[in-house]
Amino acid sequence: MSEAHDSILANAFKPLELVRKTHSKFFEMWEEVDFKRHEFITEPGKIDRYFYVVISGVQCIYLIAPNGDKQVIGFSFDGSFSGVYDSFAYEKPSHYFLEALTPSKLLRINKSQYDSLFEIYPEFEHWGRVVHLQLLIGRVNREVELITKTSKERFEAFLSRCPKELEQIPQKYLAWYLNMSPETFSRMRASKS
């Protein structure tokens, strides 16, 4: 693994202050994988066997509603974690699609390797609690935002959180994520230009 990959992993797991000298096994477990634009990483009915850290690219997790519309749950991008977490954690078939929206390069670790990190490095227990709490709070905040904010407020909140991603993620996916029509999203984006 390259020094660049070490840096990406160290930043993703920042609170742990990982360094190759003392955490060599951690860095050796990760495998680099590439996905083409619109390639599925995980599909409904399949078990997500990997936990990912994104080197580059944008991925989207979504499901298909009974009416055929995509319901976007979230995105992952440079330096963030990715995967279908419930499928990975419980080794159960996924209900979601995880799709590479752009050409994507990821680092991945399988379930048994991931689980072994908690045994090899006790500090991973603390990291796991912190990260899972952040994910839970993020999910709750998103649900509250969808229920209580107008389309314009949701758009502006996303813009303030993720301005760079606004340029990388296809407009229709952002509209689905923000629970608005692509036309409404387009008008709001044009008004900010």
Q: Which of 141, 49, 47, 150 is nearest to 94 (CA)?
A: 47
Quick: pLDDT tens for 163-185: 787 788 888 999 999 998 888 98
Assess if residue 178 is contained within a domain: no
Quick: pLDDT tens for 99-150: 999 999 999 999 999 999 989 888 888 888 888 888 889 889 889 998 999 9
Assess if residue 184 is contained within a domain: no
Number of domains in the chain: 1
The larger pLDDT score, comparing residue 157 to residue 93, is at 93
Q: Which of 48, 9, 55, 51 is nearest to 34 (CA)?
A: 55
Q: Are 120 and 127 in contact (CB under 8 A)?
A: no
Report how far residue 34's alpha carbon sits from residue 107's, in angstroms, rounded to the nearest whole number. Answer: 9
Quick: pLDDT tens for 98-109: 999 999 999 999
Number of H helices, E strands in the chain: 9, 8
CATH number at residue 105: 2.60.120.10
Residue indicated by tokens 């379930």: 111
Q: Are 76 and 108 in contact (CB under 8 A)?
A: no
pTM: 0.88
The residue segments making up the domain with residue 56 are 3-121
Assess if residue 96 is contained within a domain: yes
Report how far residue 74's alpha carbon sits from residue 82's, in angstroms, rounded to the nearest whole number. Answer: 10
